[in-house]
């Protein structure tokens, strides 16, 4: 066999004892040194087994390939009852499964609001009692129904959903319509103005958007997201460019579809920089779902929080959740709020990071670098560190400031354990007390145990050590 290293000038990667690398420096041998650190404590046995899985490399390439080749298209806006089969008393929520007993303030607040919105209770007290009794109430994660929801992520039958279809692989995903900032249901507020806004969204916004999309849709979200990244969005905590692009795309059709209500619809969308977030989340969800179910793959296909637990799902491990306690984001606060008012991390919006956006695309969004330490270099560092734990770079989602390098995409559980680098997540911060609403925004890291638990499960899989 021809061994190529015998013929070229030696160029060496060194990992480990510094002295051995320095001996090469003294011989003027070009080399690159790995800044190696021990893996997350207690993971070395599981790591060795997972890395030895002969299916892994190809399985991860397949899973990541599917995620990155997805072509999410915004195809429609439809009621949840119709597209998701939700019936009265059934609610979807963000994150891994949760009970009323374990639910945090904003999750409870959003469920109370949804009860009021659906007319299942006349007062918050009545809603709370019914939810606590559990009679006629079903709670289930959005993620179990091809759906994602920001913050509390509560979906009830009368809400209208963005429908996103993957033109490449044929999958479909759903996300609710964004209500705006401040006192809104997804942050756990359930006051009269919240319910009134939800009614307007179901009565006006949803139907008008649906009619408009029938005229101008489907809308290529992959292309829109790619453009927004080049306009300073990272698509999680900054959606200003994407929202503007969306309005540009749909405005004429909105006017045509319903001239009488077009102004109030467009004004509502325009007034909310985060309107696009939910469409971006559905796009990320449909892309990540395309990567599910590849045996032997250690790729993360969902990260989601319910305000109590942070959970992940892994391509090769079916629909199992691996969880750890949700952390409190380190952030900046609105008005007189402070860290004591903050609820632990909540929402399915981490689907953006799962697909290579949000915190992973921080370097694209210098306008909001103060979330990650204050300097542009911190944003660049946040993104570049994520290349260490991902298996691919997105071919369409590129970062101008990094020479149009693709965003880091496809988190590998094994790489997280090896490097100890946890995904960078940008997030909004909900008030701890039900009914408060948003109190800030910031940065959060998932709990390491979610990743080590998934690694252990991968290590417990049966597989032959050699490929047949």
Q: What is the total count of residues that contact other proteins (CB under 8 A)?
A: 75
Widest CA span of the chain, in angstroms? Answer: 81
Extended strands (E) in 241-372: 300-306, 309-314, 322-325, 330-333, 346-347
| CB nearer other proteins, residue 17 or residue 123 | 17
∠ Cα 424 236 386 (to 5°) = 25
Helix pair 221-229, 277-290: axis angle to 10 deg: 120
By CB under 8 A, name the one of 266, 328, 332, 448 that touches other proteins.
Answer: 332
Site for other proteins in 10-39 (CB under 8 A): 10-17, 19-21, 23-24, 26-27, 29, 31-39
By CB under 8 A, name the one of 181, 247, 255, 396 that touches other proteins.
Answer: 181
What minimum distance in Å lies between the beta carbon of 238 and other proteins?
A: 9
How far is residue 314's CA from residue 304's CA, in Å, rounded to a whole number? 12
| CB nearer other proteins, residue 12 or residue 167 | 12
How far is residue 174's CA from residue 165's CA, in Å, rounded to a whole number? 9
String of contacts with other proteins for each residue 423-462, x by CB under 8 A: -----------------xx---------------------
How far is residue 388's CA from residue 377's CA, in Å, rounded to a whole number? 17
By CB under 8 A, name the one of 170, 259, 260, 336 that touches other proteins.
Answer: 336
How far is residue 213's CA from residue 197's CA, in Å, rounded to a whole number? 22
Phi and psi at residue 198, to the nearest 5°: -60, -40
| Structure-block tokens of residue 188 | 């756990």
By CB under 8 A, name the one of 41, 42, 52, 215 that touches other proteins.
Answer: 52
Binding status of residue 41 toward other proteins by CB under 8 A: no
How far is residue 177's CA from residue 179's CA, in Å, rounded to a whole number? 6
For other proteins, which stretch binds (CB under 8 A), given 6-14, 118-126, 171-179, 196-204? Answer: 6-14
| CB nearer other proteins, residue 319 or residue 375 | 375
How far is residue 6's CA from residue 342's CA, in Å, rounded to a whole number? 60
| Structure-block tokens of residue 238 | 């900054």
How far is residue 81's CA from residue 92's CA, in Å, rounded to a whole number? 12
Contact 240, 233 (CB under 8 A): yes
Site for other proteins in 88-127 (CB under 8 A): none
For other proteins, which stretch binds (CB under 8 A), given 84-92, 112-120, 163-171, 175-183? Answer: 175-183
| Structure-block tokens of residue 127 | 């809603």
Site for other proteins in 231-290 (CB under 8 A): none
By CB under 8 A, name the one of 2, 135, 170, 464 that touches other proteins.
Answer: 2
Site for other proteins in 337-356 (CB under 8 A): 338
| CB nearer other proteins, residue 39 or residue 96 | 39
String of contacts with other proteins for each residue 363-402, x by CB under 8 A: ---xxxxxx--xxxx--xx--xx-xx------------xx
78 bridge partner residues: 161
By CB under 8 A, name the one of 419, 445, 449, 463 that touches other proteins.
Answer: 419
| CB nearer other proteins, residue 74 or residue 434 | 434
| Structure-block tokens of residue 12 | 């060496």
Phi and psi at residue 427, to the nearest 5°: -160, 155
Contact 425, 303 (CB under 8 A): yes
What minimum distance in Å lies between the beta carbon of 87 and other proteins?
A: 34
By CB under 8 A, name the one of 41, 44, 215, 252 that touches other proteins.
Answer: 44
For other proteins, which stretch binds (CB under 8 A), given 144-152, 223-231, 321-329, 418-426? Answer: 418-426
13: how many CB neighbours lie within 10 A of its CB? 9
Contact 79, 160 (CB under 8 A): yes
By CB under 8 A, name the one of 41, 42, 48, 318 that touches other proteins.
Answer: 48
∠ Cα 441 357 173 (to 5°) = 100
Nearest to 429 by CA among 352, 327, 346, 308: 346
Site for other proteins in 155-174 (CB under 8 A): none
Site for other proteins in 297-326 (CB under 8 A): none
By CB under 8 A, name the one of 421, 443, 454, 457 that touches other proteins.
Answer: 421
By CB under 8 A, name the one of 170, 192, 335, 464 that touches other proteins.
Answer: 335
| CB nearer other proteins, residue 74 or residue 455 | 455
| CB nearer other proteins, residue 121 or residue 399 | 399
| CB nearer other proteins, residue 39 or residue 356 | 39
């Amino acid at each position: 066999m021809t061994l190529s290293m015998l013929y070229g000038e030696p160029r060496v990667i060194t990992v480990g004892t510094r002295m051995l690398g320095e001996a090469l420096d003294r011989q003027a041998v070009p080399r690159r040194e790995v800044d190696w650190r021990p893996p997350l404590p207690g993971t070395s046995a599981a790591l060795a087994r997972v890395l030895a899985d002969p299916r892994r490399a190809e399985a991860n390439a397949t899973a990541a390939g599917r995620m990155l080749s997805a072509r999410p298209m915004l195809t429609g806006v439809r009621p949840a009852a119709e597209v998701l089969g939700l019936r009265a008393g059934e609610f979807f929520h963000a994150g891994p499964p949760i009970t009323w007993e374990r639910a945090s303030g904003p999750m409870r607040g959003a469920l109370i609001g949804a009860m009021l919105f659906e007319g299942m209770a006349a007062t918050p007290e009545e809603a709370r009692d019914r939810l606590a009794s559990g009679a006629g109430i079903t709670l289930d994660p959005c993620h179990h129904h091809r759906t994602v929801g920001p913050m509390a992520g509560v979906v009830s039958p009368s809400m209208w959903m963005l429908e996103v279809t993957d033109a490449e692989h044929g999958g479909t995903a759903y996300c609710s319509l964004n209500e705006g900032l401040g006192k809104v249901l997804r942050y756990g507020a359930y006051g009269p103005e919240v319910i009134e806004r939800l009614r307007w969204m179901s009565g006006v916004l949803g139907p008008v958007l649906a009619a408009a999309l029938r005229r101008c849709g489907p809308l290529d979200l992959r292309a829109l997201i790619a453009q927004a990244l080049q306009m300073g969005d990272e698509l999680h905590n900054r959606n200003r460019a994407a929202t503007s692009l969306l309005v540009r795309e749909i405005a004429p059709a909105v006017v045509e579809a319903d001239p009488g209500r077009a102004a109030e619809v467009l004004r509502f969308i325009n007034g909310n920089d985060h309107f696009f977030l939910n469409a971006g989340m559905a796009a990320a969800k449909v892309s990540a779902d395309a990567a599910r179910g590849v045996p032997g793959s250690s790729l993360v296909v969902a990260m989601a929080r319910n305000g109590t637990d942070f959970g992940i799902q892994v391509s090769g491990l079916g629909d199992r959740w691996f969880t750890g306690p949700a952390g409190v984001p380190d952030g900046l606060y609105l008005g007189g709020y402070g860290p004591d008012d903050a609820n632990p991390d909540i929402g399915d919006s981490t689907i953006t990071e799962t697909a290579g956006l949000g915190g992973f695309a921080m370097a694209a969004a210098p306008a909001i670098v103060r979330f990650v330490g204050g300097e542009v270099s911190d944003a660049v560092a946040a993104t570049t560190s994520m290349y260490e734990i991902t298996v691919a770079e997105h071919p369409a989602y590129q970062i101008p400031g990094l020479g149009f390098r693709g965003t880091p995409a496809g988190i590998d559980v094994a790489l997280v354990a090896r490097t100890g680098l946890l995904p960078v997540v940008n997030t909004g911060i909900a008030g701890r007390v039900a009914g408060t609403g948003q109190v800030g925004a910031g940065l959060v890291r998932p709990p390491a145990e979610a990743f080590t638990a998934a690694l252990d499960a991968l290590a417990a899989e049966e597989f032959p050590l050699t490929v047949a």
